[in-house]
């Protein structure tokens, strides 16, 4: 598994080379407190596409420090893509990663081909109970996050895996991620996104409900909207086949 140094930080990413021509490239950006494993194998090994699933700084196997703003994470993703030497790439972002993808789209970067927004919104207000609890009662707050993050069809093993992964992250990093989400708000600018855009929402998502996805769809001209039945906030790992099919169909039409 490869590493790359970006702005002095050694970042890990899982890669899959499905397109030797390097014309179809996809960057996967996880959400708050996550890592590349929050994207299922069905997406990390998407046929016919070069896929790069990044661990953001301070997350997973990446070194460096976590950020406290979506703009700062967007800077890292931009530099990451440039360090890979990719002339064109699409970005798929989940939750906070979706905020990062929107930020990149609004910057009109020359390498960015399209964006895929999964379980996210143009504004990501965080419940004060989460922000305070991450500082004062970390384990109990992680339990609350897991209760809210998974849909009705998620099995106990998936919830245990999710809890174990989050408990392994530095509490300060997760708090910084949620603070970044809480400050994110592009509701009055998201209609300036002109790139091809796919929006994927879960019908049972409690953290970014379907109305968030519908707002994005209403505001972003020409966007596509897919709703995953019974999908919770972690719909990518809950319903990997359905999410991967939606992404593959969107990319194949580019």
Mapping DSSP onto H, E and C, the string for the chain reads CCEEEECCEEEEEEEEECCCCCCCEEEEECCCCCCHHHCCHHHHCCCCCEEEEECCCCCCCCCCCCCCCHHHHHHHHHHHHHHHCCCCEEEEEECHHHHHHHHHHHCCCCCEEEEEEECCCCECCCCHHHHHHHHHCHHHHHHHHHHHHCCCCCCHHHHHHHHHHHHCCCHHHHHHHHHHHHHCECCCCHHHCCCCEEEEEECCCCCCCHHHHHHHHHHCCCCEEEEECCCCCCHHHHCHHHHHHHHHHHHHCC
For residue 1, the model assigns a pLDDT of 64
Are 190 and 219 in contact, with CB atoms under 8 Å apart? yes
Domain count for the chain, please give it.
Answer: 1
Q: What phi-psi label fits residue 248: left (phi over 0), alpha (psi between -120 and 50 degrees) or beta? A: alpha
Is the separation of the CB atoms in 244 and 44 below 8 Å?
no
pLDDT on residue 6: 95
pLDDT for the residue numbered 21:
87
Cβ neighbours of residue 177 closer than 8 Å, sequence gap 6 or more: 31, 32, 33, 66, 67, 96
Q: What is the Cα–Cα distance from 103 to 68, expressed in whole angstroms?
A: 15
Closest CA to 207 of 32, 44, 58, 77: 32
DSSP β-ladder status, 50-54 and 89-94? unpaired
Where residue 165 sits, what CATH number does that domain have? 3.40.50.1820
Per-residue pLDDT of the chain (254 residues; tens, 9 = 90+): 699 999 999 999 999 999 998 889 999 999 999 999 999 999 999 999 999 999 999 999 999 999 999 999 999 999 999 999 999 999 999 999 999 999 999 999 999 999 999 999 999 999 999 999 999 999 999 999 999 999 999 999 999 999 999 999 999 999 999 999 999 999 999 999 999 999 999 999 999 999 999 999 999 999 999 999 999 999 999 999 999 999 999 999 87
* 152's tokens: 């009705």
- The range of the structural domain enclosing residue 178 comes to 3-252
CA distance 115 to 105: 7
Which residues on neighbouring strands pair with residue 3, listed in sequence order? 12
Radius of gyration of the chain (CA): 16
């Amino acid at each position: 598994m490869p590493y790359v140094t970006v702005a002095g930080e050694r970042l890990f990413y899982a890669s899959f080379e499905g397109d030797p021509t390097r014309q179809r490239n996809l960057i996967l950006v996880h959400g708050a407190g996550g890592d590349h494993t929050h994207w299922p194998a069905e997406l990390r090994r998407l046929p016919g596409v070069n896929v790069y699933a990044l661990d953001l700084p301070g997350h997973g196997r990446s070194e460096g420090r976590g950020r406290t703003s979506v703009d700062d994470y967007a800077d890292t993703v931009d530099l990451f893509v440039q360090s890979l030497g990719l002339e064109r790439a699409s970005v798929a972002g989940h939750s906070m990663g979706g905020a990062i993808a929107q930020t990149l789209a609004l910057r009109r970067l020359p390498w960015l081909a399209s964006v895929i927004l999964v379980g996210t919104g143009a504004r990501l207000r965080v419940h004060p109970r989460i922000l305070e609890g991450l500082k004062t009662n970390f384990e109990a707050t992680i339990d609350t996050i897991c209760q809210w993050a998974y849909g009705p069809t998620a099995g106990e093993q998936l919830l245990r895996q999710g809890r174990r992964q989050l408990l392994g992250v530095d509490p300060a990093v997760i708090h910084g991620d949620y603070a970044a989400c809480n400050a994110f708000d592009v509701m009055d600018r998201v209609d300036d996104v002109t790139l091809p855009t796919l929006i994927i929402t879960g019908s049972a998502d409690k953290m970014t409900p379907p109305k968030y996805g519908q707002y994005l769809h209403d505001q972003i001209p020409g966007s596509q909207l897919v709703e995953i039945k019974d999908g919770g906030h972690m719909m990518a790992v809950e319903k990997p086949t359905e999410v991967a099919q939606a992404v593959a169909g969107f990319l194949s039409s580019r």
